[in-house]
Homo-oligomer: A and B are copies of this chain.
């Protein structure tokens, strides 16, 4: 157990001030973002980070609000479920309604009416998913919009500017995302390009925090920026990426390029080795992961933050997570099942409705099926994170992990 002081000292006001550091950048400017490690058990960490829009307890799960809305949810629902931070997608918001429009509204918080912390990704993952619709060069990524085929260019600098205009509390660097499997040489070249891009993102961020840039509205002067570690499943490349990314210096560090098809055990290995090399004084964010068991297993390996569309997307497809395993609500066995989805769950859906009704709504194609299912799945995810934090605080996390893996992650026979 290693309580530590804050990585960055919060400023008195929301304004940032320049401060010389040992970073490669000639000028760096600190952000009011700070991370405090409260307690740990093995590699699992209990902590919290502070942002201009409030505190987030870690380990944290961030529901995904791609277009400025967590699908099928209202912000009030997310607050009631205990979501302390949500994620927006830069790629989607850049294309529609556009970062300029959002900046004119006062930034993403004011535009969408969400008062708690926000994180925006860099759009890297979405752009690389466009496959034949994009061309990557050292400069950046040229791509055609999935909406209308219009041509766009995203560079590390542009992505930093867009995120500054969106004004989330945490911005991510623009990184190259590699498919799995990849050859070692390709993974190395891609990782090193991501490091160069990370430096360009950080340099741009420092300009924005300092004198600013014409034509770029900084919607949130307290915005933090996280670096992203790449390197595929090659441990030495991950180690090289950690060293180079930490040398640039960010308020937090993400592990990217996982949950892209590699075997789960391999992912856990890479997570354990990579997280262990990241500074203890900054939050560690595993991007795009995962199942409930992934959350528990990766907290056990030192991860503090997660995001994933799984609880929301699966909910809309009728796949529900419960304390006794997964349920596919389409299954005919639930047609006359008067029990709640999960007797251990206190969410609105479980307090109000039976499996029989939820199955009926799903089969009838009612929108409310998506809402009720999403409420439940997010409740399950966020409740799992609460139980994880509680267990670390009381030094019972390892026991919790063993019990959780025996029960909640079971696949019921029909799923």
Contacts and interface: CB of A to CB of B under 8 A. Distances in A.
Stoichiometry, as copies per complex, reads 2
Interface stretch (A153-161, A222-230, A346-354, A388-396): A346-354
Interface string A98-132: 00010011000001110000000000000000000
Contact of A72 (B75, B335, B353, B368): B368
Contacts of A361: 67-69
Contact of A105 (B73, B113, B354): B354
B366 A71 contact: yes
Contact of A97 (B73, B97, B360): B360
B335 A101 contact: yes
B105 A336 contact: yes
Given A113-B352, A357-B111, A371 B74 contact: yes
A360 B68 contact: yes
A74 B112 CA distance: 22
Interface string A197-232: 000000000000000000000000000000000000
Nearest to A368: B69
B76 A348 contact: yes
Interface in A337-352: 338, 348, 352
Interface string A78-95: 000000000000001000
Nearest to A359: B97
A96 interface: yes
Of the candidates A69, A73, A352, the one having the most CB atoms from chain B within 10 angstroms of its own CB is A69
B357 A112 contact: yes
A353 B97 CA distance: 16
Contact of A111 (B67, B354, B371): B354
A96 B336 contact: no
A20 interface: no
A372 interface: yes
A78 B363 CA distance: 22
A370 interface: yes
B67 A360 contact: yes
A110 B345 CA distance: 20
Contacts of A412: none
Given A335-B101, A338-B105, A354-B105, A371 B96 contact: no
